[in-house]
Structure 1
Amino acid sequence: MSQNAPSALSSGASDSSPAGRTAYFDNAKLLAVVLVVCGHFWEPLIGQPEQRHIKALYLLVYTFHMPAFILVSGFFSRGFTAQPRQIRRLVSGVLVPFVLWGTLLALFNGFVTDESVTIKPLTPVWVTWFLIALFLWRLSTPLWRNLRAPVTTATALFLAAGAFSLGAQLSITRVLQFLPCFVIGLVMDPRHLARLREARWIKAAAVISFLTVGGAAFVVAPDFNAVWLYRSAGAPDLHVSYGHWVAEALVIHVVGLVLTAAFLVLVPSRRTWYTSLGAGTMCAFLLHAFIRQAMVATGLYERDALQGLPGQLALTALALALALLLCTRPVRALMRPLVEPRLNWLFRPDAPARSESARVHGPS
């Protein structure tokens, strides 16, 4: 979290106090990363026959889990003004891990698949796209804070990006297509969220929203191309007209924002047994990718045990347990040198950097 994050959300200890609000966002981060891990563990099954139910659940989760993660990241970037200390944190806590974990994941993929490895420093490897995207979004924060209509401008860039095939470098397509979610978080007033959560009818509306979209996901699951939800492709990549792309991308974007609002409404605001795990979401986000890739490489997803409901429930329980385990304090302490490396040697002595990462409040 930025040191300049709104004080009302950065300290305190009960449901109605500033600390309760801190617990709320830790809860949101933890629940979001659990959805990320579950989604990735389900993914190898969605293309298999007779798996309509698991694909529908996957589509539902992918409609909102990254928009929610990114919106919260934007909210906690409100205080970023590109001061030297903030830039140092951004480099040591986001940019360097992007390069480091991208390299590690590429080497691991090559090892488990017995394929040759080509390291491309500017091309994200799977989950590491979020790190470079966060770096670029946060670096651009002062610009968005000074525009008259930041959300409108970000949305225009998102729609314009769909006209082109921009390639994989820096995950620029995702950077632009998810940009409105980050900017909405950036300009969001904490009082608006508080008022939204106070309305008595809103939780019922949130549940209805999830049920409605879940039902729609089940209907379209057999024929729907999940790539639309990754926000990584423009019209040329999806082989559709630009008009078709704009219409479908806008619907997905709006539905994603509605479910993001519903998710934020339903997240518990009180301190729970899992609240403290919200500080370790980056470890879970990065480490689970290696386990999932190893499971794919060993052929686990081709076994009959995972084709039925019992096996899939067991797989989901495994993903849930793994996500929680990877967020625990011992794992965070063990992985700190790789997730939050100390880079004092890299910066000028007259402006020493503390080894604090740019907190990632928010995980495809």
Structure 2
Amino acid sequence: MSTTGAAATTAQKRRVPIWDNARWIAITLMVMGHAILKLIAESDVAYEAYLFIYAFHVPLFVAVSGYFAKSGPPGTRQLHRLLTDIVFPYLIFETIWTLVRWLLGGNFWLDYATASWTLWFLIAIAIWRISLPYLVLLRYPLLISILISVGAGYIESLDATFTLTRTLGLLPFFVFGWHLRQRQLTGRWLALGPRVVWRWRAAALALFTALAVVIVLSIDRLRELKVRRFLLYDESYGTIGYDQVWAGVIRLCLILLAFGLIVAFLVLVPRRLTWFSKLGAATMYIYLLHSFVLFPFRESGVLDGPQPAWVLPAMMLLSVGISVLLSQGVVRRVFRPLVEPRARWLFRREPATLTGTIVLPPGEPR
């Protein structure tokens, strides 16, 4: 067996089904939330589904990313992957979206400081990965991240530049995911017997049921309170319309609720291999490409105004189909240069020393 083949086999053996399952379900919920957005203005049912999904799906996706984040000093390999997995795809897709807007009649203006639509996550995760090793040096990183998130909501000067509002607002969930791994909860959970597992799952189902009931019974009040805008973590309290000192309590409560929902979700995720486990390795493809599939629905006006009752479940089913389609091997092969650019030509072959000088091979002229 070749070295590459052996490495691939080892990587496959290391994959834990529960996390691949969680990844795929989480990204599918994200597609679903984006797909039904246009329906929420005219439909209470769509708004209820939207609030239910957004109460946990973005925090969940961030927490899963935090679970696999490294908190030690970054090495050359980590810095390399930060560029190839995050920075380069962001630059590529931000350029593509600029071209799309230009071709549709807009001005050609490259603005890499302001992310287009879903691309905010790439900027945020780059900042989270860089800052995590410093944050965990402190004694209470999770508590500090919560204080940062709540406090950021009071600063009206923070805006979407380099997605700072969302980066600071969602920081606790990245740290929360890291905490889950530090406590080695995956091994403990997989070691539990079926009876204990189903007790936990019953409690998780009860929590999600309670959330759904509260949303359905309070939908008018939730519209009035502008809860949806709080769940996006991309605005200050004052911008939403809350100038009161206690406005941060709303974000704090939503953060704590999301912590519970993240755990409840992970408890409900299948622990073994499923038909969609292998699709969990393609979440970045789904994330970056699904917006192009949904773009015509958002911009054509086909979903504007009141819609028949069947449209909501149809869009939800379409979201699952999109997630499955974009997980396929042929899609990954075609779009790999954009989603996973290796850009080997851009990196120098000789590493740098700690002082920044280049290490030359023996006998190389200086």
Relative to the length of structure 2, the TM-score reads 0.85
- Say which SS state the counterpart of residue 246 (structure 2) adopts: helix
Whether the aligned pair in 1 keeps the contact of 2:155 and 2:236 (CA below 8 Å) is yes
| Map of 2:148 onto structure 1 | 157
- Say which SS state the counterpart of residue 302 (structure 1) adopts: coil
Q: Displacement of 1:131 after TM fit?
A: 0.4
Q: Displacement of 1:160 after TM fit?
A: 1.3
Whether the aligned pair in 1 keeps the contact of 2:21 and 2:270 (CA below 8 Å) is yes
Whether the aligned pair in 2 keeps the contact of 1:144 and 1:150 (CA below 8 Å) is yes
Q: Displacement of 1:242 after TM fit?
A: 4.6
Of residues 249, 252, 266 in structure 2, which corresponds to 1:250? 252
Of residues 123, 129, 152 in structure 1, which corresponds to 2:120? 129
Matches within 5 A, 1:137-176: 137-165=128-156, 166-176=158-168
Matches within 5 A, 1:199-210: 199-200=196-197, 201-210=199-208
Structure 2 distance, partners of 1:12, 1:85, is 20
Q: Displacement of 1:246 after TM fit?
A: 0.7
Closer/same/farther in 2, CA of residues 80 and 221 from structure 1, 3 Å limit? farther
| Map of 1:27 onto structure 2 | 21
Residue 42 of structure 1 pairs with residue 36 of structure 2: yes
Matches within 5 A, 1:45-60: 45-48=39-42, 51-60=43-52
Could you tell which deviates more after superposition, 249-258 or 79-88? 79-88
Whether the aligned pair in 1 keeps the contact of 2:70 and 2:129 (CA below 8 Å) is no
Whether the aligned pair in 2 keeps the contact of 1:80 and 1:86 (CA below 8 Å) is no
Once the two structures are superposed, residues 238-262 of structure 1 have per-residue CA deviations (whole angstroms, 9 ceiling, x without a partner) of 1212523211111111111111111
Whether the aligned pair in 1 keeps the contact of 2:29 and 2:53 (CA below 8 Å) is yes
Residue 336 of structure 1 pairs with residue 336 of structure 2: yes
Structure 2 unaligned regions, length at least 5:
1-9, 353-366
Structure 1 distance, partners of 2:140, 2:189, is 23
Closer/same/farther in 2, CA of residues 272 and 350 from structure 1, 3 Å limit? same
Whether the aligned pair in 2 keeps the contact of 1:109 and 1:293 (CA below 8 Å) is no
Once the two structures are superposed, residues 156-207 of structure 1 have per-residue CA deviations (whole angstroms, 9 ceiling, x without a partner) of 1111101112011111011111101101111223533454573342101100
Structure 2 distance, partners of 1:132, 1:279, is 21
Structure 1 distance, partners of 2:291, 2:184, is 36
Q: Displacement of 1:303 after TM fit?
A: 7.1
Residue 115 of structure 1 pairs with residue 114 of structure 2: no
- Say which SS state the counterpart of residue 273 (structure 1) adopts: coil
Structure 2 distance, partners of 1:110, 1:283, is 24
| Map of 1:290 onto structure 2 | 292
Structure 1 unaligned regions, length at least 5:
1-9, 353-364
Structure 1 distance, partners of 2:327, 2:12, is 22
Matching residue's letter, 2:35? F
Structure 2 distance, partners of 1:98, 1:314, is 31
Whether the aligned pair in 2 keeps the contact of 1:209 and 1:262 (CA below 8 Å) is yes
| Map of 2:364 onto structure 1 | none
Matching residue's letter, 1:132? I
Q: Displacement of 1:337 after TM fit?
A: 0.4
Matching residue's letter, 1:141? L
| Map of 1:301 onto structure 2 | 303
Q: What percentage of aligned pairs have identical amino acids?
A: 30
- Say which SS state the counterpart of residue 123 (structure 2) adopts: helix
| Map of 1:264 onto structure 2 | 266
Closer/same/farther in 2, CA of residues 303 and 174 from structure 1, 3 Å limit? closer
Residue 84 of structure 1 pairs with residue 76 of structure 2: yes
Whether the aligned pair in 1 keeps the contact of 2:38 and 2:304 (CA below 8 Å) is no
Could you tell which deviates more after superposition, 170-179 or 286-295? 286-295
- Say which SS state the counterpart of residue 303 (structure 2) adopts: helix
Relative to the length of structure 1, the TM-score reads 0.86
* Equivalent residue pairs, number: 332
Structure 2 distance, partners of 1:43, 1:303, is 12
Structure 2 distance, partners of 1:316, 1:144, is 38
Q: Displacement of 1:300 after TM fit?
A: 1.6
Matching residue's letter, 2:238? P
Once the two structures are superposed, residues 20-70 of structure 1 have per-residue CA deviations (whole angstroms, 9 ceiling, x without a partner) of xx111010000000000011000011012xx11111111011010111111
| Map of 2:323 onto structure 1 | 323
| Map of 1:96 onto structure 2 | 88
| Map of 2:185 onto structure 1 | 192
Whether the aligned pair in 1 keeps the contact of 2:123 and 2:163 (CA below 8 Å) is yes
| Map of 2:216 onto structure 1 | 218
Matching residue's letter, 2:106? E
Q: Displacement of 1:11 after TM fit?
A: 6.1
- Which structure's CA Rg is the greater one? 2
Could you tell which deviates more after superposition, 249-258 or 72-81? 72-81
Q: Displacement of 1:79 after TM fit?
A: 5.5
Structure 2 distance, partners of 1:190, 1:78, is 14
